[in-house]
Chains A and B, each alone.
Chain A
Amino acid sequence: MQAEPRRVAYVAHCLMNQNAKVSEFAKCAGVFSPLVERLVKNGYELQQLPCPEMSHMGAIRWWAAREQYDTPGYRRHCRNLAKGVVDLVTMHQDAGYDVVIVGLDGSPSSGVRLTSTKTSWGGRPEGAVHGGSDRRSGMGVWMEELKFEFEERGLEFPRATGVAMDAQDFDLQKAMVELDEFLTGDKEDAA
């Protein structure tokens, strides 16, 4: 009888620590338990990605759209973090693990399928008071740099999806159905 494959999920930092969210975006106290419970139930170990927004701009950062994070300096910061992450992913793969990534859809940094956009933001910050950023398909800057690091090492970017907690129309029930499909392999690479 063949043993069950070992599985590990690298999850966006804030899915295990909502304190890292930009103000007004924490949807629970600490750990987003619907995700963690599903991962454990499906036999996944948990790894937590760093939050480059937190380490770049801190806990009291302003809201920002992808365009504001899309700078060479921020990308360099993300790439430095990506090197350590890809080393750890490789360590898991060498130990026989199937690796998946669960990002945060709608995020300017951690989005996998969906990111944010607001080309008019910049300068005097009160513009954000009159409405949040918009959403568009595509990866956030952090996920993109992580993917580039895999590619530059000649490695395949793991199967990835995102939980759309940063989307204005976030639907928990729908998101969990999608996640279940992804985790059980019914839905191939959502990225």
Chain B
Amino acid sequence: MIREDLRSRRIAVVADFVVNPGSALYGRRQAPPTDFVDVLMERGWGIMKMPPHVAKFESCERLIEVSVGDLVDYRKNGYDVVIAAVGDLPQQGVWLDAMASCYARLRKDMPPVVTISSDASASDADALETALTSAA
């Protein structure tokens, strides 16, 4: 018997900051939660949350590398991927430069990158949908 599989086949790469804006890790930058992640959840996006951008790079390097490897494999198999880069955070909150280096090493193109702000809301989630449409 084949089991029903409900995956959406689309993944949003998001910053720790937009998932945990009130985290103590962010000190004076702490912010109230927004509805951005809730909207992604409601719309069926799978979330790949990158390590906090305030962590030491050495701790995150391997995690970033395997995340990029996963994203390459998803796209190879027809899944949609969008990176939600936070314009007003270092490394755009998603370790974007490190991700780009990994893509370059693998000789693969980056997926669409949408720039959102650290107080992203539902309209920013719309921008992720638009990026997929444009990339299609």
Contact = CB atoms under 8 A, between A and B. Distances in A.
Interface of A: 6, 8, 16-21, 23-31, 33, 36, 45-48, 50-51, 54-55, 58-60, 80-81, 83-85, 87-88, 91-92, 95-97
B47 A17 contact: yes
B5 A24 contact: yes
Interface in B10-41: 10-11, 16, 19-20, 22-25, 40-41
B25 to A, nearest CB: 6
Given A30-B40, A48-B49, A81-B63, A19 B8 contact: yes
Contacts of B45: 29-31
Interface of B: 2-11, 16, 19-20, 22-25, 40-41, 44-49, 51-52, 55-56, 58-63, 66-67, 69-70, 73-74, 76-77, 79
Nearest to A85: B63
A33 B10 CA distance: 16
Most chain B CB within a 10 A radius of its CB, from A25, A30, A45, A60: A30
Contacts of B22: 45
Given A17-B46, A30-B41, A88-B55, A54 B70 contact: yes
Nearest to B50: A48
A23 B3 CA distance: 9
A124 B82 CA distance: 36
Given A29-B7, A36-B41, A95 B24 contact: yes
A21 B23 CA distance: 29
B46 A16 contact: yes
A46 B7 contact: no
A95 B54 CA distance: 12
A122 B48 CA distance: 31
Contact of B49 (A16, A18, A23, A26): A16
Given A87-B55, A91-B59, A48 B48 contact: yes
Nearest to A36: B41
Nearest to A18: B7
B2 A33 contact: no
A30 to B, nearest CB: 4
A17 B80 CA distance: 13
B66 A81 contact: yes
A67 to B, nearest CB: 22
B70 A51 contact: yes
Nearest to B54: A91
Contact of A20 (B4, B41, B44, B46): B46
